[in-house]
Amino acid sequence: MLSRRWHPAEALFWAGAVAAAFLFPRQLLLMNEIAILALFALSLDLILGYAGIVSLGHAAFLGMGAYSAGFVALHVASDPLLGLFVGMAASGLLGLVTSPLVLKGNDLTRLMVTLGVGLLMLELANALSFITGGADGLQGIMMGKLFGQFEFDLFGRTAYAYSLGVLFVLFVLARRIVHSPFGLSLRAIRDNPLRATASGVPRNWRLAAVYTLSAAYAGAAGALLAQTTQFVSLDVLDFHRSADVMLVLIIGGAGYLYGGLIGSIAFKFLQDIISGFTPQYWQFWIGLFLVLFVLGGREMIHGGIKAVLARLRVLKPGKRS
């Protein structure tokens, strides 16, 4: 009972992501950006969709991962996996340390507190210019070969394969986690914290754990960003990063893991199309789109997605399905 098996539609989704590399060989850099944004959104989904923690400062963890990975590449070793690991660890640690701030209070106080942490990190990065390069950023990052084999090329072939691979591995892990007893306890807290604690769930520990995990995921996205663009600037900590990723989840829907993935595709295409004909006002148009979407379209679109998912559910009691 209670198991979620892989559905053919999921296999199709990932096959599509691989096939896209061959179908659109000139869009690999854009697709790399999408994969990284998807990972960032997946990270936010872990806390927002599964634990009900809202955040407007998730860029803090993206930035932490990006700067850590950039720092490792510049000063320690150029191996991408090492930088990825360090980025995740550093962001995870930052998540753990800041988690007490999101344990208390309601949605509004959480929005304010996370926003504050995000702004603080930006100011900190600006001030610590001997590490971060300040406004100039970290330049001249040279990445070593992936697995000592694959060079990062100008077209983004290795970059996309790398980002997609990391996204897939972390997605599978997240999928496993949200369907575990731990994941179920998170949903319990999200649905009703009062009942969750009255059922023996130690709310604060569980939320701190998922916040740390989510931060590490965001750190991975930041590391990928630093490594595949070979550049880190204060922009990774900018407020628009936190706002964009929230937007992505709103478009794609939170709480079923694919929302961030689908949302990031939609978001990047929207951004690409709109900025194509109106480069200066694209944010206006995406803002307008968002308003209309939230007012009308969302229920329709998500209703469709949920209907499909409901059919995908495998919930058979008493036996291993």
Which residues of this protein are in contact with another protein, per CB under 8 A? 1-3, 176-177, 179-185, 187-188, 191-192, 194-203, 206, 209, 315, 317-318, 320-321
Question: How near is the Cβ of 190 to another protein at its closest, in Å?
Answer: 8
Q: Which is nearer to another protein, 144 or 255 (CB)?
A: 255
Query: Cβ of residue 245: shortest distance to another protein, in angstroms?
Result: 23
Q: Please write down the HEC assignment for all residues of the chain.
A: CCCCCCCHHHHHHHHHHHHHHHHCHHHHHHHHHHHHHHHHHHHHHHHHHHHCCCCCCCHHHHHHHHHHHHHHHHHCCCCHHHHHHHHHHHHHHHHHHHCHHHHCCCHHHHHHHHHHHHHHHHHHHHHCHHHHCHHHCECCCCCCCECCCECCCCCCHHHHHHHHHHHHHHHHHHHHHHCCHHHHHHHHHHHCHHHHHHCCCCHHHHHHHHHHHHHHHHHHHHHHHHHHHCCECHHHHCHHHHHHHHHHHHHHCCCCCHHHHHHHHHHHHHHHHHHHHCCCCHHHHHHHHHHHHHHHHHHHHHHHHHHHHHHHCCCCCCCCC
Decide whether 135 or 173 has the Cβ nearer to another protein: 173
Give the nearest distance from C-beta 39 to another protein in angstroms.
19
Nearer to another protein, 210 or 232 (CB): 210
- The CB-of-1 to another protein minimum distance in angstroms stands at 5
User: Of the two residues 197 and 283, which places its CB atom closer to another protein in the complex?
Assistant: 197
> What minimum distance in Å lies between the beta carbon of 205 and another protein?
8
Q: Which is nearer to another protein, 187 or 298 (CB)?
A: 187
